[in-house]
Amino acid sequence: MKAITISEPGGPEVLTWTTVPDPVAGPGEVLIDVTASALNRADLLQRQGFYDPPPGASPYPGLECSGHVAALGEGVRGWEVGQPVCALLSGGGYAEKVNVPAELVLPVPEGVSVADAAALPEATATVWSNLFMGGGNATSSNVFMVSHLRPGETVLLHGGGSGIGTMAIQLAKAVGARVAVTAGGPEKLARCAELGADILIDYREQDFVEEIRKATDGAGADVILDIVGAKYLERNVRALAVNGRLAVIGLQGGVKAELNLGALLGKRGAITATSLRHRPLAEKAAIVAAVREHVWPLIADGRVRPIVDRKLPMAEAAEAHRALEASTHVGKILLLTSTSA
């Protein structure tokens, strides 16, 4: 098969469409003939040498994919060869074939093309686990209950035009929350509004703390989903409502910041920081099961859909990385294998 390999840490030019050995389905695994994979910021970090795959994971980038079941490993039940599926991966999505634990495979939702389904696993799992489940212990009775966004609450989503942001807008609206977003420029904000965002904040021109307070009569946001990290920490705490919850899922704005504990204490606030890729299999399986139970019906009835900005051949992964780094996209950028329809 062919896969995108990383010759050395560096820019997009280090991504090469190369012939590599075919994977074989091991016990408990599903082998997928890949139709498409979707880009994530983690892919850029891996390419740059800053985010290695977990031990035992594929060395190729790609944290989600869609396609058809090619083979079933020993002990796998519930899937059939040829069945259209999508999957959450620890790596390996930028390839013609990939192995994945059976617990992390999902059926392609009704009404979604096989290619577009590649835009779903990482975004839905990240958003659902952080906005509606949060952190926690996969064996506990209240698994992941931290952010627990409720109907009528206000949620602030940073990066509203991203793959995570566009999914979070739709899911938050589906459960009856009021949605505020930050995004860069009127065009991205207009797309966010089309998806249901109620409060539109241009982070290039406006102070999101001031705007969220103004829109909530001074109360602030009940939940904040943040992809920026250190750069926004102090302002995020100021933007929180009393009993507010801040979920940090990205570090685009750095990893170190000073935290005023007095301000957080005064809000009776909570901060969680989570990643998905390095979670134990049991935790990821619990998240995927929750996504299938709660999110897939919303997709089937049309209330939620994958937002795809563009599709490129997988051999053009370097160009796709340049597009993601430019941040001019809205939603997901997909890479299609040569056999993709």
Question: Residue 147: its pLDDT value, please?
Answer: 78
Question: Residue 140: its pLDDT value, please?
Answer: 39
Question: Average pLDDT in the 316-334 region?
Answer: 97
Write the DSSP symbol of residue 51: -
Per-residue CA distances from 248 to 103, 233, 237, 261, 272 (Å): 26, 9, 12, 17, 6
Per the prediction, the chain carries an average pLDDT of 94
Spatial distance between the Cα atoms of 224 and 163, rounded to a whole number of angstroms? 16
- Work out the pLDDT band at 208, boundaries 50, 70, 90: very high
User: Nearest CA to 274 among 135, 140, 120, 112?
Assistant: 135
Question: Average pLDDT in the 152-181 region?
Answer: 97
Q: Spell out the residues 6+ positions from residue 244 whose beta carbon is closer than 8 angstroms to its own.
A: 220, 221, 222, 223, 224, 267, 269, 270
Spatial distance between the Cα atoms of 251 and 25, rounded to a whole number of angstroms? 34
Both tokens assigned to 67: 């396609």
Evaluate the CA torsion angle 175, 176, 182, 184 in order and state its sign. positive
In this predicted structure, the answer to whether residue 232 has a pLDDT above a threshold of 80 is yes
Spatial distance between the Cα atoms of 14 and 26, rounded to a whole number of angstroms? 30
In this predicted structure, the answer to whether residue 291 has a pLDDT above a threshold of 70 is yes
Spatial distance between the Cα atoms of 152 and 23, rounded to a whole number of angstroms? 47
- Is pTM beyond 0.85? Reply is yes
Q: Spell out the residues 6+ positions from residue 246 whose beta carbon is closer than 8 angstroms to its own.
A: 223, 224, 226, 236, 237, 240, 269, 270, 271, 272
Question: Where do the domains of the chain lie, and which CATH numbers do they carry?
Answer: 2-120+306-336 (3.90.180.10), 126-273 (3.40.50.720)
- Residue 85 sits at φ, ψ, to 5 deg, of -145, 165
pLDDT in tens, 251-289: 888 889 999 999 999 999 999 999 999 999 999 999 999
